[in-house]
Structure 1
Amino acid sequence: MHVSVEVVGEETHEIRVEDDDTYADLVRAVDLSPHEVSVLVDGSPVPEDQPVAVERVKILRLIKGGAY
């Protein structure tokens, strides 16, 4: 299955997933850490250890670098 992964405010990626891939695997596939993001399905957060069950997700970065 292919999943459209939108990193909010950045870019959208098309990721191929296997049956046992989790939302954390999707996050890693776009070079982010599961500890710095929330994965949203239909606007609601999903647990990172759950298997991917949809074809479109949004990733919201919780930590963003920058100068003070």
Structure 2
Amino acid sequence: MDVTAEVVGEGTETLALADDATYADVCRAVGYSPHEVTVLVDGSPVPEDAPVAAPEVQVLRLIKGG
């Protein structure tokens, strides 16, 4: 399955994922841990363990600091 992933502020890439891929797999495919980012579908966050059902997603880096 091909999924277009926009990493907000970094660019867009097309990912070739297994048919049973989860949104955590999307995170890893763009080089991040699921703990560092959240995946958005149509502007809403999706659970990392949910199967990928959208052809286009946004990956938003979570910022932590002090």
TM-score normalised by the chain length of structure 1: 0.89
2:25 aligned with 1:20: no
Equivalent residue letter for 2:7: V
Q: Whose helix proportion is higher, 1 or 2?
A: 1
User: In 1, Cα distance between the equivalents of 2:58 and 2:64?
Assistant: 16
Structure 1 runs, 4 residues or longer, greater than 3 Å off: none
TM-score normalised by the chain length of structure 2: 0.91
Unmatched segments (≥5 aa) in structure 2: none
Unmatched segments (≥5 aa) in structure 1: none
2:63 aligned with 1:63: yes
- After superposition, the CA RMSD in angstroms is 1.6
